Amino acid sequence: MTQHIRPHSPPLDLAGYEQVGGYRALRKALKDMTPDDVLKQVTDSGLRGRGGAGFPTGRKWSFVPRGADAPHPKYLIVNADEMEPGTFKDRLLLEGNPHQLIEGIVLSAYAIGAGDAYLFLRAEYKTAAWYLMTAIAEAYAHGYLGRNILGAGYSLELHLHQSAGRYICGEETALMNALEGRRANPRAKPPHVTTVGLWGQPTVNNNVETLANIPHIVNNGPEWFKGLSCTKAAGTKLYGVSGKVKRPGLWELPMGTPLREILEEHAGGMRDGLTLRGVLPGGASTDFLVAEHLDVSMDFDSVKAAGSRLGTGTMIVLDDRTCPVAMLQNLEQFFARESCGWCTPCWAGLRWVDEILQDIERGAGELKDLEILESHTRLLAPGHTYCALAPGAMEPLRSALKYFRQDFERHIHEHRCPWS
């Protein structure tokens, strides 16, 4: 997927992308394949969404009404609002090879019958915005976007929307409200967006990394894609590591690569004198894994069985010189500030969690505070809020109370942060 990305260099222009096979999949699809053919290939490939939830991509597309009587227009949304703390994988794709994403967008829109696609970009990604605008203009000029693409009778307009900058816009229905010019609040489900989405029309929302896989699946076929993995999961995955490791970074590896290999071989292990205490395996809104989990395969099912989620596949490492309470408080404060305020459990509950953690960190906590924090992990669980923001915020809290409870108790008993 990223074989044509050159770190720290400008992305391939259109001519360069074509020289390495770019837009070959689009030519193949528009000439020899129906939308149903593309849908079948993606379904058979086993591709699952790379935005965090891991829902099967082809299955999501299949929910969109098809046929002559289906509602029109239909829309494709590309979620490039990469604001999950610790996550930076989509940035590499956006800045490294924007034409790969554009080709994936056109193929995906063709498969679901969409005539318009909206690329919703994180506000802070200024470099990505410039590269995308340049690539989109090139694609229009050479007939890969616009009316009657490559003379095949299919048309697609691609709109780049730069976000105002809110974490909640990563939630697909809040994103749609923002695109419609309204307050970015989540919507109740059902109805689901594949039937009633943007402006009340059938809509598919896919992540950048997900769509970057589509040209390669169309070019090489489902079995090739399945064979890239080292477990029953399909394809490759962008894995990232941040924290006090020797080589923080991002790597494309077979889906299911063991956590130990990613941390020790690719990230170089912990810095000298430091010991691993825990890992948030898929961004800030996932449960901690600890040393006993180092041999887990980093795929959706294996990480779930270990008690966490693969999420975005970008890991935040906790070492033994960093206070876990302070780390957690920093994350919970972010989630509290980014709550859209639409539902009380989220905006009130997260604020209370943040205040309690601040008290504990500065030495003013009490043992009963731990019971209150534990109650929040239940009261803000899935099904109690409009969207997954608050439940996601509870995942690191719940696991921190499980694995690092002695650290919380030490703060309370000593009336100070032992790391300060």
For residues 214-240, give the mean pLDDT.
Answer: 95
* 2 has a pLDDT exceeding 70: no
Q: What's residue 231's pLDDT?
A: 87
Interhelix angle for 344-361 vs 367-379, to 10°? 160
Query: Between the CA of residue 170 and those of 21, 296, 301, what are the distances in Å?
Result: 32, 28, 23
Q: Tens of pLDDT along 173-195?
A: 999 999 999 999 999 888 999 99
Sketch the domain layout of the chain as residue ranges: 14-226, 236-319, 324-414
Global confidence as pTM: 0.94
* 202 has a pLDDT exceeding 90: yes
Query: Between the CA of residue 300 and those of 209, 296, 403, what are the distances in Å?
Result: 15, 11, 22
CATH homologous superfamily of 14-226: NADH-ubiquinone oxidoreductase 51kDa subunit (3.40.50.11540)
Q: How far apart are CA 71 and CA 200, in angstroms?
A: 10
Partners of 250 in beta bridges: 240
Q: What's residue 7's pLDDT?
A: 62
Q: Tens of pLDDT along 31-88?
A: 999 999 999 999 999 999 998 888 999 999 999 999 888 999 999 999 999 999 999 9
Considering the domain 324-414 in this protein, what is its CATH number? 1.20.1440.230
Q: Tens of pLDDT along 154-177?
A: 999 999 999 988 999 999 999 999
Task: Please give the torsion angle defined by the CA atoms of residues 402, 255, 193 and 144, in that order, rounded to the nearest 10 degrees.
Answer: 150
Q: Tens of pLDDT along 244-289?
A: 999 999 999 999 999 999 999 999 999 999 999 999 999 999 999 9
Query: Between the CA of residue 241 and those of 48, 53, 73, 87, 313, what are the distances in Å?
Result: 21, 19, 40, 9, 9
What is the enclosing helix (H) or strand (E) of 80? strand 75-80
Q: How far apart are CA 269 and CA 9, in angstroms?
A: 27
φ, ψ of residue 202 to 5 degrees: the values are -55, 135
Query: Between the CA of residue 139 and those of 102, 156, 158, 172, what are the distances in Å?
Result: 8, 11, 10, 26
* 298 has a pLDDT exceeding 70: yes
Buried-state track 328-349, b at ≥16 Cβ within 10 A, e below 16? bbebbbbbbebbbebbebbbeb
Q: What's residue 164's pLDDT?
A: 87
- The CATH architecture annotation of domain 236-319 reads Roll (3.10)
3-state secondary structure of 51: coil
Partners of 316 in beta bridges: 242, 280
Which residue type does 313 have? G
Average pLDDT, rounded, for the chain: 95
Q: What's residue 51's pLDDT?
A: 87
* 388 has a pLDDT exceeding 80: yes
Q: How far apart are CA 93 and CA 79, in angstroms?
A: 13
Q: Tens of pLDDT along 302-312?
A: 999 999 999 99
Question: What are the respective helix, strand and coil percentages of the chain, to the nearest 5?
Answer: 45, 15, 40
Spatial CB neighbours of 297, under 8 Å, sequence gap ≥ 6: 230, 231, 256, 257, 258, 259, 303
Identical fold for domains 236-319 and 324-414, yes or no, is: no
